[in-house]
Amino acid sequence: MNSPTDTRYLGNTGGLDPLVPLPAIIEPAHYEREVERIFRQSWLLVGNTYDLPLPGSYLVLDMPTFNTSLLITRGHDNQIRAFHNICIHRGNKLVRSGSGSRKTHSCGFHGWTYSAEGKLIGVTDRPMFGDMELEKMSLPQVHCETWHTHIFVNFAAQPSETLTEWLDVMAPQYDGYFGTPDKNNFEKVNSFQVVTNGNWHLGVNAFTEGYHTMFIHRNTVPDYQGGRSNPMRHRPHMELMKRHSRYSAPSNPDHRITPAEDVCYRFGRKLFPEFRVDGSHLPKGVNPSKVDQWAFDVIELFPNHVMLTGAHWHMHMWFWPIDAGRTIIRMDNYAYPAKNAGEKLGHSYFAARGREVFREDINTIEATQTMLRSGGIDKIILSRQEMALQHHFRVAQQMVAQS
């Protein structure tokens, strides 16, 4: 690159439209098509194997997008599976909520019992069901695969691609970073969620450009990106894949460490928003252009997941639509495993600062939703630094147009 303000663009950047008819896209009639043609056909990241540490571990994930609830388990054969969380007897929700570890799952309605592998293993008053072959029945399964420590599901009757194909060029690029389904390189620091009165696109868009950072975050992290050499905080690397996108955020070599950062990161590794770290241990997919003034990467896993990857931490954000105008937004933060109180202090600061920045990022969603539905404009205008948004809408429109 010629200067820190230059962006290295990779992928198919031709044919992108900077004018997006977003007011029409967030209408309810359009949303109904998106559920069937985008969400039901996509591999969706739903959780982390960290949350299923032992055989018999389970978690419940309610998914209003599909009007269902998932029961995700680690079987006694160590395989991770996803099921519709429904007793096949009368349709009761099998496990109401939460996570934990159980050898079996019994329905509170009539006591039917299932193994951690989803097989029906116990029917109360069995003779009353005659010669029905109940012993061959199981919970209805949802396609499920893992990538490193991440759990994905697909609601299509038959996925058109494997998860590896869906992940595209990223699939082999993160070896050794997240860990494996059985070995953790990180620990979960905190998790929280909110419900916002805004369309899911607006949530994803809020995190897939850096143009806003010097304005929205001027009070919490005013100088964490850019600096004198890159005052408009142009992304040094921006990559458009078949469906996903990835960009690198620029660090600020002029960043002044605050007293809180100095205290909290003195006894451990530096985490957000301090980025002067040794990244030599990072695999190909993290900081793909290997730029010197690098802060972190932002990955959009189309359609509704945004992941931030740093040298010693990563963040995950989900945008699960309830309907055309409401979205569940969840955030999970991970950092390197803390070994002492000093490192725990750093984790706490990382969690608190990340939460405040997250709140700033989502604060425009409801106001934008209201004004886009007012009829005041029929298109939004996107810059080259918002090219990931242009790509997001190109992919979405292509999938909706498919019969």
pLDDT tens digits for range 201-219: 999 999 999 999 999 999 9
- Per the model's pLDDT, the better-predicted residue between 273 and 2 turns out to be 273
pLDDT digits (tens, 9 = 90+) for 248-260: 999 999 999 999 9
Considering the domain delimited by 44-160, tell me its CATH architecture. 3-layer Sandwich (2.102)
Say if residue 262's pLDDT is above 80.
yes
pLDDT digits (tens, 9 = 90+) for 355-395: 999 999 999 999 999 999 999 999 999 999 999 999 999 99
pLDDT band at 280 (very low <50, low <70, confident <90, very high): confident
| Fold equal for 8-40+176-401 and 44-160 | no
pTM for the full model?
Answer: 0.95
**Percent of the chain, pLDDT > 90?**
93
> pLDDT value at position 1?
40
Domain boundaries in the chain? 8-40+176-401, 44-160
Query: What is the dotted CATH code of the domain comprising 8-40+176-401?
Result: 3.90.380.10
Q: What is the amino acid identity at position 34?
A: E
> pLDDT value at position 184?
84
**pLDDT, the chain, mean:** 95
Say if residue 2's pLDDT is above 60.
no
**Percent of the chain, pLDDT > 70?**
98
pLDDT band at 4 (very low <50, low <70, confident <90, very high): low
Give me the mean pLDDT over the 105-127 stretch: 97
pLDDT band at 291 (very low <50, low <70, confident <90, very high): very high
pLDDT digits (tens, 9 = 90+) for 60-115: 999 999 999 999 999 999 999 999 999 999 999 999 999 999 999 999 999 999 99
- Centre a 10 Å sphere on the Cβ of residue 239 and count the other Cβ atoms it contains: 24
Give me the mean pLDDT over the 124-134 stretch: 94
Say if residue 3's pLDDT is above 90.
no
